[in-house]
Amino acid sequence: MHYVIIGNGVAGINAANQLRKRDETSSITIISKESDHFFSRTALMYVLCGQMSPSDVEPYPRDHYQRMNFTRVRDEVVALSPSETSLKLSSGETIQYDRLLIASGSMARSAGWPGEELDGVGNFVTWQNLEWLTEKSRTAKKAVVVGGGLIGIEVAETLLAAGIEVTFLIREKWFWPIAMDQNEGLMIIDHMRHHGCNVRLQTEVKKIISQEEKVTGVEIGDGEIVDCDIVVATIGVVPQTGWLVESGIELDKSGGIVVGDHLETNLPNIWAAGDCTSVVWFNGIRRPEQLWYTSRDQGRIVGLNMSGDKRVYKRSTFYNSAKLFDIEYTTAGYVNFNFEGEQNWYHREPDTNRTTRITYLPDGSVTGFNMLGRRWDHRILVDWVDEKRQLDWVLQNLHIANFDEEFFPSFKIDTQALKSGVV
């Protein structure tokens, strides 16, 4: 049996590991155009800012591929021919497979600005992006970061730390509206400004200004020009599936590979996992889940299924975490789905950047938690959402789920004020 895995990211490598656990003899080939070694994509910023070395972000020892007997191919797959069960590589070679996993991940969304193709404009998604930005940040004096999400704030933070003047352009009214409400998003923006980041809200790029192929600025909505040497576009990612359009694999309108419960595609002996995959969410809507955790879980399950299991991939209750500059962020449950009649319980600890937001339904059952400035045990919060705990009970017991470092100022809510609901 020859297993072929396209993609050396978290989904691909987890699938390969599971396959090898199940099957010690079959040959397993991993094809990647990006890197020889699996690395943590979420750690790219730490390499950029010199906090970690490139090899520090590799989760497995360097000899992992030898020990597991994985064959690596560094090339780009340009076409899939299901009828011939083969893949065509950009070098012109073809590779035959018995069972194929597509874990080609996602790529930066194209912004479509005039001048986007200039060398001073780029993204921060791939290892090659990291190399590009590392090089550019040595000489750049001013940078524009576009896109009010997680990668954007990470890039802004890192470039600021490198002594570069950063202007952060956000299209929406506050930072990261798919995760934050107005209170939270504006608090983060205050924090960014406090760190010297020039944030511009409700601002979009019209075009890139350049002189002799060198970026000199961006023109924003009202014709104003913001000077800069580099532009980093962090306006989201899309499934990397353009090479599959002719293959007969079913793609959804976002380009995600449509898979069934077992992460199988519409074609025989082909599975898909990770960012390139479109799955059905808890609310019945099909779309890609572009998260580290879901890619990892999908990789593990698809590996088992490719070796003969029939495991169902079911997305468990949502959780995520991040660090926004130095503000910890944990979310659990469904805070941004606007259920009917949903209400917010919101509390900001005085004179801090520590906030608690709990969403709940008219019957009092909690649906989600959005927490900033503290660490929380998402396992407990997820359980409470699953158990449909009442808001009153949750508020009384919230300290149980606290996960702060020892000696961190303890979590207390004034119970008197709590009853009135206006803490």
Binding site for other proteins (CB under 8 A): 10, 17, 21, 40, 42-43, 45-46, 49-53, 56-61, 157-158, 161-162, 292-293, 297, 319, 321-323, 326, 328, 330, 375-379, 403-409
* In the complex, minimum distance from the CB of residue 19 to other proteins, in angstroms, rounded to a whole number: 11
By beta-carbon proximity to other proteins, the closer residue of 53 and 94 is: 53
* In the complex, minimum distance from the CB of residue 156 to other proteins, in angstroms, rounded to a whole number: 12
What values do phi and psi take at 265, rounded to 5? Answer: -90, -175
Residue 320 in tokens: 């995520």
Rounded to whole angstroms, the Cα distance separating 168 from 203 reads 9
By beta-carbon proximity to other proteins, the closer residue of 157 and 184 is: 157
Nearest to 267 by CA among 103, 90, 102, 107: 102
B/e letters for 115-146, b = 16+ CB within 10 Å, e = fewer, are: beebebbbbbbbbebbebbbebbeebebbbbb
By beta-carbon proximity to other proteins, the closer residue of 180 and 257 is: 180
B/e letters for 297-329, b = 16+ CB within 10 Å, e = fewer, are: bbbbbbbbbbbeeeeebeeebbbeebebbebbb
- Note the residue count of the chain: 423
* In the complex, minimum distance from the CB of residue 50 to other proteins, in angstroms, rounded to a whole number: 4
* In the complex, minimum distance from the CB of residue 291 to other proteins, in angstroms, rounded to a whole number: 10
By beta-carbon proximity to other proteins, the closer residue of 222 and 351 is: 351
Residue 422 in tokens: 């206006």
* In the complex, minimum distance from the CB of residue 233 to other proteins, in angstroms, rounded to a whole number: 21
Class of residue 295 by CB neighbours under 10 A (exposed 0-12, middle 13-18, buried 19+): buried
By beta-carbon proximity to other proteins, the closer residue of 39 and 175 is: 39
Nearest to 71 by CA among 135, 3, 128: 3
* In the complex, minimum distance from the CB of residue 264 to other proteins, in angstroms, rounded to a whole number: 23
In DSSP terms, 365 is beta-bridged to 390
By beta-carbon proximity to other proteins, the closer residue of 57 and 108 is: 57
By beta-carbon proximity to other proteins, the closer residue of 34 and 297 is: 297
Nearest to 39 by CA among 107, 126, 122, 106: 126
* In the complex, minimum distance from the CB of residue 40 to other proteins, in angstroms, rounded to a whole number: 4
Cβ atoms of 372 and 353 within 8 Å: the answer is: yes
User: Which residue shows structure tokens 């961190």?
Assistant: 408
* In the complex, minimum distance from the CB of residue 215 to other proteins, in angstroms, rounded to a whole number: 24
Tally of CB atoms within 10 A around 113: 19
By beta-carbon proximity to other proteins, the closer residue of 326 and 386 is: 326
